[in-house]
Amino acid sequence: MIQSESFSVNNLKSKIQNLKWMGIFVIAFMIAFGWAGASAQQTTKVSRIGFLTATTASGSADLLEAFRQEMRKLGWIEGKNITIEYRFGEQKRERVPELAADLVRLKVDVIVVVATPAALAVKKATTTIPIVMVNAGDPVGVGLIASLARPGGNITGNSGLSPELNSKRLEILKDAVPNLARVGLLLPPGSGGPESFQLREIRPAALALKVKLEEIKTQPVPKDLERAFQTATQKQVGAIMTTSNRPFFAERKRIVELASKNRLPAIYFDKGFVDEGGLMSYGADYDDLYRRAATYVDKI
C-alpha cells in the first residue's frame, strides 16, 4: 500500500515536470513565431496618402506641418506606418490635372486636396479613391458635393466659406477705414473659375456698402503683384483685399510688404498675413482646417 502510494506520487511528479517543460516550450514557440508574426503583420502595412495643392512647397510648409502634427497625435507617423506623396502645382493651375492623375496612378489610399482647383481635378480623375478636401471655398456651388450635410460620392472634408466671408471682410474694412470709397480687390486672371463664386457675393456687398470695387487681376508672382499695386495706386483705392486664394497665401509676405510700401490698409483672409505684419484678417483658422483634415484621413 505504501509502495503503491509512493509510486503514484513519483509518477505524478514526473507528469508535472513534463507539463512544465511543455508549457515553457509552447510559450517559447509563441514568442518566436506567434507574437513575432503578429508584430510583423502590424508593421508591414504602410498606408499611402496623396497630397495635392496648386501652390508651392514653401508656401504650404506651415500648414502641412499642422497636418502632420495632428496625424502624429493620431498615431500616424510618416516613414513608419504612412508615406505621403506630395504634389505641388508651383502656382501653375494647368499642372494640377496631371498631378491629380499621377496620384491616382499610384493607387494611394486617400488623397488630401487643398482648395477648389485641386479638388475638382482629383474628383475628375477618380470616383473610387477617397478624397479629403481642405478649405474648399464653395464646394456645393462648384459641384464638388451635393450638400454640406450629405456630400455623397467619394469626397469629404471641410470648407472655409470663402464667398460669404469676403463680404464680411469688405464690411469690416469699410468700418475700419474712414470715408473709404474705393477698394482694390486682387484676384487671379481668367473668369468662370472658383473665384467667380466669390465675386458673386462681394459685388452686391460692395453696392450695398456704397464702395467702388476695383477688380485687379494678377498672377501671384512678385513682378505681377508689384504691377497690381501700381494699378491700385493709379486707381486711387483707399484699401486693398484679395479673394481667398491659396496662391495668394503662398505670397503673403510679399503682398503685406507691398501694402505697407504703398500705405494701403488691408484685410486678409488668413491670420498668416497678420503674422507677416499685415494689418488685420478675418476668416477661418487654416491651421485648424488642416488639423481637422487629418482626423478625416485617420477615420478613412
CB-based contacts of 193, cutoff 8 Å, min separation 6 = 117
The whole-number pLDDT of residue 38 equals 40
Smallest Cα–Cα separation from 295: which of 66, 21, 99?
A: 66
According to the per-residue pLDDT averaged within each range, which of 89-93, 164-168, 176-180 is highest? 176-180
Q: What is the pTM of this model?
A: 0.70
> Around 183, how many Cα atoms within 13 Å sit in the side-chain half-sphere?
35
User: Do the domains 45-161+286-299 and 163-281 sit in the same CATH topology, yes or no?
Assistant: yes
Q: What is the mean pLDDT of residues 259-276?
A: 95
What are the pLDDT digits (tens) for 209-242? 999 999 999 998 899 999 999 999 999 999 999 9
Is 125:97 a contact under the CB 8 Å cutoff? Answer: yes
The whole-number pLDDT of residue 195 equals 59
- DSSP at 95: G
Q: How far apart are CA 116 and CA 144, in angstroms?
A: 8
Residue percentage of the chain with pLDDT more than 70: 83
Q: How far apart are CA 50 and CA 61, in angstroms?
A: 16
Q: In the chain, what are the domain boundaries? A: 45-161+286-299, 163-281
The whole-number pLDDT of residue 26 equals 37
According to the per-residue pLDDT averaged within each range, which of 17-21, 134-138, 256-260 is highest? 256-260
Residue 56 in grid coordinates: 508651392
Residue 186 has pLDDT above 50, yes or no: yes
Residue 12 in grid coordinates: 505524478
Q: Domain 163-281 belongs to what architecture?
A: 3-Layer(aba) Sandwich (3.40)
Q: Which CATH number is 45-161+286-299's, of 3.40.190.10, 2.40.50.140, 3.30.450.20, 3.40.50.2300?
A: 3.40.50.2300
Task: Name the maximum alpha-carbon separation found in the chain.
Answer: 121
Q: How far apart are CA 219 and CA 91, in angstroms?
A: 9
The whole-number pLDDT of residue 122 equals 96
